[in-house]
A = this chain, B = another copy of it.
Amino acid sequence: MTAKFIPWKTLDRRTVLDAQPYLSVEMRTIELPDGRTIPNWAWVATPDYINVVAVTAGGEFICFRQTKYAIEGTSLAVVGGYIEPGEDPLAAAQRELREETGYRAERWTSLGSYAVDGNRGAGVAHFFLAQGAEKVTEIDADDLEEQELLLLPHAEVKTALMKHEFKVLAWAAIVSLALESLEGNPVT
């Protein structure tokens, strides 16, 4: 980071909406590097979450077809969920894989951690690739959504991604990052 990039300062913050544990909103007063202040910068606090692209020893991707309140119809999806208070992101990822699918995996790779909204926060998304997944127990999920577990071959996941069938931003992001990581393409 070069010296010219000066971080914004937070001068003040007040909670204007408290709907914990899922959402709270602060109005913050921000000072820009040039001295200007912004008196009402909305900051959204929502729980950090994890998503997992899990691939079986046979190379199949563990996906779901499911509904989600913010989208129309159904979407392809991957394992995901909120991190519990004090929980490590990787532990949350392993827990969600087990609860939602009954699988566990030995090889775990971080695909990165990302601010969901660069301006307003809205939590951090932690992404993991889990390889060598095998079924070890029954599904024990408490999700509100109806969902159907699917084991999809690599080529089918790729085609679905390019046809925009993963309709939630985090799902499209992690599937795309996982494919880039797995394919390790040389650049032509």
Contact A168 B69 (CB under 8 A): no
* Interface size in chain A (residues, C-beta < 8 A): 73
Contact B67 A7 (CB under 8 A): yes
Taken together, the copies of this chain in the complex come to 2
Name which of A88-96, A130-138, A175-183 contacts chain B: A175-183
Given A68-B119, A167-B115, the answer on whether A44 and B30 have CB atoms closer than 8 Å is no
Residues facing B in A70-116 (CB within 8 A) are: 70-75, 110-116
- Interface flags for A59-73 (1: CB within 8 Å of B; 0: not) read 000000111111111
Residues from chain B with Cβ under 8 Å of A67 in the complex = 5-8
Contact A69 B8 (CB under 8 A): yes
Residues facing B in A121-137 (CB within 8 A) are: 121-122, 125
Residues from chain B with Cβ under 8 Å of A22 in the complex = 42, 120
